[in-house]
Amino acid sequence: MATKARENVTESPQAIFLMGPTASGKTDLAVALWDHLPVELISVDSALVYRGMDVVSAKPDAATLAKAPHRLIDIRDPGESYSVGDFARDARREMDAISATGKIPLLVGGTMLYFRALLDGLAELPPSDPAVRADIEAQAAELGWPAMHQRLAELDPQSAERIHPNHSQRIQRALEVCLTTGKPFSQLLDQQDSSSVQPITDSYQITQLAIAPRDRAVLHQRIENRFETMMADGGLDEVRQLFARGDLHPDLPAIRAVGYRQAWQHLSGELNYDQMVTKAVVATRQLAKRQLTWLRGWQGLNWVYTDTPQGVSLSFDEILQNALKILRNSPIYKGSG
């Protein structure tokens, strides 16, 4: 293991954000950085917060977590909700705790909304209203989510522009807030008060990394291979155990997660096995596309590519050294060797 020395660090607290599309190699890179830098890891993933959801969520395995623990993993039961506000508050608490020990928080994951909430801050939003939510879901079942997206566009054009017409969870929440408060969801997000999560950049210097292959076809193949491996490693049995509990249902955020949703449909008799695999792979590719769309417009991002412009794959050591070079030229390690 390389010596984890910290030299010429500026006085302001530092943090590293490591993001990227699903199956891009974020976890492997984060653990390798843990070997070289004085960091502690925080997971930024809306599925990894749930206990008992290990295989299909691509949660780091027990050996990896024993070596390099990730905070904010396994902190909720799948029957519970976990909002972006919950994450922003939890992540800020963990960042402060890590910084207090003299180490650097390294936040790693692919839930871009969570990263954005930390960077931009988050206004306190009203709690969920089950009656309003049920009414929205009933209308969506009849009309489809693109129609509900159009309704959101009439109530809150700014939010509708930010949310994809097929992103049911975000459309539902934005509509719910509009209907319960009488105000645009986007307006409430823009308002900050004493109970809000303030932008992390007010008190931390952030170095942002994104890992991905230049060649989209490479990412697509990784996604397909990884899902096949998940199934071979007991992924369907994992979902079967959740299904057998009897208190979970497909409208819960945990069960709506990519891979779990399609496996649930298979166990419910809606899809045969091959249909489940196809739909899960397609949905995961669509997720990766949305993540990359977020990242294309991201400010202050340093790209760590896993291949050359000519499409030649880099070795993991080359990827790691490229990431370390970026970090050593950042405020975290100015002047370090």
Q: What is the pLDDT of residue 218?
A: 96
Q: What is the pLDDT of residue 123?
A: 65
Q: What is the pLDDT of residue 192?
A: 45
Q: On the CB side of 71, how many CA atoms lie within 13 Å of its CA?
A: 17
Beta-carbon contacts of residue 146 (< 8 Å; ≥ 6 apart)? 165, 166
Q: Give strand pairing partners of 210.
A: 19, 303
Q: What is the pLDDT of residue 124?
A: 65
Q: What is the pLDDT of residue 256?
A: 93
Instruction: Give me the sign of the Cα torsion angle 60, 64, 66, 70.
Output: negative
Q: What is the identity of the amino acid at 51?
A: R
201: DSSP letter:
G
Q: Write the CATH number of the domain with boundaries 130-190.
A: 1.10.20.140
Token pair for 177:
């807030």
Beta-carbon contacts of residue 268 (< 8 Å; ≥ 6 apart)? 243, 250
Q: Which fold has domain 14-122+198-215+300-333?
A: Rossmann fold (3.40.50)
State the Cα–Cα distance between residues 314 and 274, nearest whole angstrom: 33
Q: What is the pLDDT of residue 25?
A: 97
CA angle, 167 then 270 then 280, to 5°:
50
Q: Show pLDDT as tens, one digit a residue, over the chain (337 residues).
A: 444 444 444 467 999 999 999 999 999 999 999 999 999 999 999 999 999 999 999 999 999 999 999 999 999 999 998 988 899 999 999 999 999 999 999 999 999 989 998 998 876 667 778 888 888 989 998 999 999 999 999 998 888 887 878 778 789 988 998 898 888 887 776 654 444 667 888 889 999 999 999 999 999 999 999 999 999 999 999 999 999 999 999 989 999 999 999 999 999 999 999 999 999 999 999 999 999 999 988 989 999 999 999 999 999 999 999 999 999 998 877 533 3
CATH class of the region 218-288: mainly alpha
Q: Where are the domains of the chain?
A: 14-122+198-215+300-333, 130-190, 218-288
Q: What is the pLDDT of residue 334?
A: 52
Beta-carbon contacts of residue 330 (< 8 Å; ≥ 6 apart)? 207, 302
Q: How far are the Cα atoms of 84, 106, 110, 138, 143 from residue 44, in angstroms, in the given order?
A: 10, 10, 6, 31, 33
State the Cα–Cα distance between residues 22 and 305, nearest whole angstrom: 14
State the Cα–Cα distance between residues 333 and 38, nearest whole angstrom: 11
